[in-house]
Amino acid sequence: MHPDAAEMLAALDAGFPDVTTFEPAELREVIRSRRGPLQRQPDMREVRDLTIEGPGGEIPLRIYRPHRDDPTLPVVVFAHGGGFVFCDLDSHDEFCRSMADGVGAVVVSVDYRLAPEHPAPAAHDDMYAAVEWVSKNAADFGGDPTRIAVAGDSAGGNLAATVSVAARDNGGPPIAAQILLYAVIDDDFETESYRLYGSGYYNTTKAMRFYWESYAPNGTDDIRLVPTRAATLAGLPPAVVITAELDPPCSAGDAYAEQLRAAGVPVQHRRYDGLFHGFLTIASLPVTGTARTEIWEMVRGTLDAG
């Protein structure tokens, strides 16, 4: 285990609620009550909240524009994690600000519909609608419609991956990069990382089963839920794939990076050994700042290469 992570992981593993024991609304309130007040840092040139029309009603977005002199910046459309069940724009506010500042991009955070009230593919469909909206409206907020990336952590990484497949298959907006941060690729609970780290490392097999059962009560055969259901991965956007060794979904994320590469997709893959699911959103963890700097550089390189 990474020395910076041991104390934090012990606290998370001991204190994070058993998500399987709450009703959805109660669980969201419990998670929300554990957050500190928004610090609104790092500072942005502009932060704008708005709503767009989606397939199931209005979708709230939050647009972050960093302090940059460039009149036009790349755009990262971001989906937050939370097991498809909880988290929102505020839960990932600091992270999106850090990404905007570190990458030098406009970040558009998407408050997609949550399960189980809105089962799959509702979240996927909202994320896709947000990408379409950004493609049509990027110029209005200083974004470059030719350099749109999709990104997400955990469940949000699943949405970024599946939207990349859908955009390719449906003639959707061109996507310049997919940024998958310890993404939930599939519902295979028998991998090596589930076997080794399925309990005692904050994110558990029990919780992951609950998330998938909430999001996909009718199964996961749909390509909009699991990107490896696609007939081919060829032609997908260049990928930045980040995994964490002590995370149950790690093996699937590592394998997906190799599957993308084998299909001819340019891939930058980094596994952070000794670290756990969610570490990138814990700004107080010393190793997080270093990891973010490395990842933002990967993202910039991938966008510049396109």
Predicted local confidence at residue 145, as pLDDT:
96
Structure letter (DSSP) for residue 113: -
Statement: 6-305 belongs to CATH 3.40.190.10: no
How distant, in Å, are the alpha carbons of 29, 149, 193, 204, 246 from that of 7?
25, 34, 21, 18, 14
pLDDT at 162: 99
Calpha distance 217→199 (Å, rounded): 23
> What is the pLDDT, as a whole number, of residue 83?
98
**How far apart are alpha carbons 209 and 229 in whole angstroms?**
19
Q: In whole angstroms, what separates CA 289 from the centre of its chain? A: 18
Give pLDDT, residue 15.
Answer: 86
- Number of H-type helices and E-type strands within the chain: 9, 8
Match 């310049």 to its residue by tokens.
176
Which tokens go with 101? 């500042």
- Taking the chain (306 residues) in runs of 10, the rounded mean pLDDT of each run is 87 90 95 92 98 98 97 98 98 98 98 98 98 97 97 98 98 97 98 97 96 97 98 98 98 98 98 96 95 98 89
Per-domain residue ranges for the chain?
6-305
Give backbone dihedrals phi and psi of 204, rounded to 5 degrees, phi first: -115, 160
Contact between residue 4 and residue 285 where contact means Cβ atoms under 8 Å apart? yes
**Catalytic residue set:** 154
Helix (H, G, I), strand (E, B) or coil at 242: strand
Question: What's the pLDDT score for residue 43?
Answer: 98
Burial profile 84-122: b = 16 or more Cβ within 10 angstroms, e = fewer? bbbbbbebbbbbbbbbbbbbbbbbbbbbbbbbbebbbbb
pLDDT at 80: 98
pLDDT at 236: 98
Chain centroid, CA 273 distance in Å: 19
Q: What is the pLDDT at residue 305?
A: 85
Name the strand (E) or helix (H) holding 226: none
Closest CA to 22 of 100, 68, 86: 86
- Between CA 161 and CA 156 the distance in angstroms is 9
The whole-number pLDDT of residue 21 equals 95
